Amino acid sequence: MNPAPAVAAKTRASVIDDASARAKAIAAAGDLFYARGIQSVGMDTLSRDAGIGLKRLYQLFPSKEAIVEQVLAARHEKWTTGLDTAARRAPTPRDKLLAIFDFLGEWFASDGFRGCVFINSFGELGGKSPRIAEIARAHKQQFQHYLAELAADAGAPAFLAPQLALLAEGAQTTAAISGADSAADARAAAVTLIDAALGTQAR
Amino acid sequence: MNPAPAVAAKTRASVIDDASARAKAIAAAGDLFYARGIQSVGMDTLSRDAGIGLKRLYQLFPSKEAIVEQVLAARHEKWTTGLDTAARRAPTPRDKLLAIFDFLGEWFASDGFRGCVFINSFGELGGKSPRIAEIARAHKQQFQHYLAELAADAGAPAFLAPQLALLAEGAQTTAAISGADSAADARAAAVTLIDAALGTQAR
DNA sequence: TACTATAGAGAACGAACGTTTTCGATGTCA
DNA sequence: TGACATCGAAAACGTTCGTTCTCTATAGTA
């Protein structure tokens, strides 16, 4: 009848319930890992920043690596949702493809932007952690797939989506490292590639 | 009269001279850092792999960070030389621009390829080490400048070079993470962008 | 040959890491 | 109220890190 109180009854003396504590920890870990890199952030720092004791942290997560994985899963969810929201607002399939680059532009301009967390994590840990490498690979593949759907909706040939993906990836690293407004460059290039691809179609 | 023996006389009992030892250390460190990430490689591992004792290592370099910086400097040199060699082989300015993507393709297919070391280092350490962030930024800026020169030689407008740079950057991360043949995709997109840019010129 | 300086191997150091445990304090249920 | 469970804070554990130091062997100089 009342499932939420039932859960609360199980963890009697908790200041906050497990789900909220987990969410707080993942949010804090996401910010810390993104800003400083994963290995540079110790569990003590995470405990302090999240406001959750070390003991509870290790009751909620089996290891730091598990936290990393859940952070990446959360960031993937956030990315996918943001992308889809931006694309949904655009009226035509062509506009949906371009909306991706507007979405990137807003992201690049946000405070603390430091590139794609999947690219960063892959560079830092992909060489020694197959799990992290696979998570990054899956994330990028899903983006490719999403782009391919949008491109197909626009009636474009199959080669367009990978080309636009390269622009988006390049814009992320360039904006992070060089601080340039690479979203605008990427968008302009995307217009050219899209028009060229649609022009080659025998419609 | 004999400057080389004079140097050898200064370091009497050396098995190999300082310059060779330094080069060996930087080569070994470059391979290790690239394959596993920087923080994942300890000085003991580097000492063993380079065949240089810890004591000597710290006589040759003041710190691990100094080794990292010199590794990046060496990789920058190698990248610049390889790029220029590839471009020089191409007959026309347009072919020089495209030769970059052929160069990338060969690199991506090489053993142990794991993306751009500057992007990886930036992701791992850029958040806490301004030096590393600046080295990565300078490297990418030099690439942008090189591309701009080639594009200008081809008679293209100024917006082309940043667009091609995005393709190259995106191809590097995509090839590293997804393992796809992104150099071919990038090259095809580059052809479209170059032709479009040259077509807009009022010649 | 005796002296000096450097080499390499590795022990040792202090700090930081991920993880576990201890320790009162607090809230829940019989 | 009293037994119990869980909390946060922090000490402690074993390991690893970057860096320094010790030790012995050896090569060059006089």
Instruction: Indicate yes or no: CB of B169 within 8 angstroms of CB of A174.
Output: yes
pLDDT one-digit tens code per residue, B75-89 = 999 999 999 999 999
CB contact under 8 A, B166 and A165: no
Residue A21 confidence (pLDDT)? 85
Mean pLDDT of chain B: 90
pLDDT (0 to 100) of residue B202: 47
The model carries a pTM of 0.90
Q: Is the pLDDT at B2 greater than 60, yes or no?
A: no
Query: Three-class SS of residue B78?
Result: helix
Beta carbons of B114 and B34 less than 8 angstroms apart = yes
The full DSSP string for A85-151 is HHHHHSSSHHHHHHHHHHHHHHHHHSTT--S-HHHHHHHHHTTT-HHHHHHHHHHHHHHHHHHHHHH
For chains A and B, CB pairs below 8 A equal 163
Residue A11 is predicted with a pLDDT of 39
Whether B16 has a pLDDT exceeding 70, the answer reads yes
Residue A33 vs residues A138, B101, B136: alpha-carbon distances, Å: 20, 33, 20
Q: What is the pLDDT of residue B8?
A: 35
Confidence of residue A203 (pLDDT cuts 50, 70, 90): very low
Task: Please give the pLDDT value at position B200.
Answer: 67
Cβ within 7 Å of strand C: which of A 23-42?
A: 39-42
- Give Cβ neighbours of residue B101 (< 8 Å, ≥ 6 apart): B167, B168, B171, B183, B186, B187, B190
User: Is the CA virtual torsion A177, A180, A185, A186 positive or negative?
Assistant: positive
Assess whether B59 (CB) lies less than 7 A from strand C. Answer: yes
For testing the chain A interface, which of B104, B135, B164, B192 should be mutated: the one with the most A CBs within 10 Å? B192
Token pair, residue B47, equals 């000492």
Closest CA of chain A from B141, distance in Å: 7
A203 or B199, which is more confident? B199
Tens digits of residue pLDDT in A2-22: 333 333 333 334 567 778 889
Smallest CA–CA distance, residue B106 to chain A, in Å, is 18
pLDDT, residue A199, reads 83
CA of A55 to C1' of C28 (A): 20
Determine if residue A30 is left, alpha or beta; phi over 0 gives left, psi from -120 to 50 gives alpha, anything else beta: alpha
**What value does the mean pLDDT of chain A take?**
90
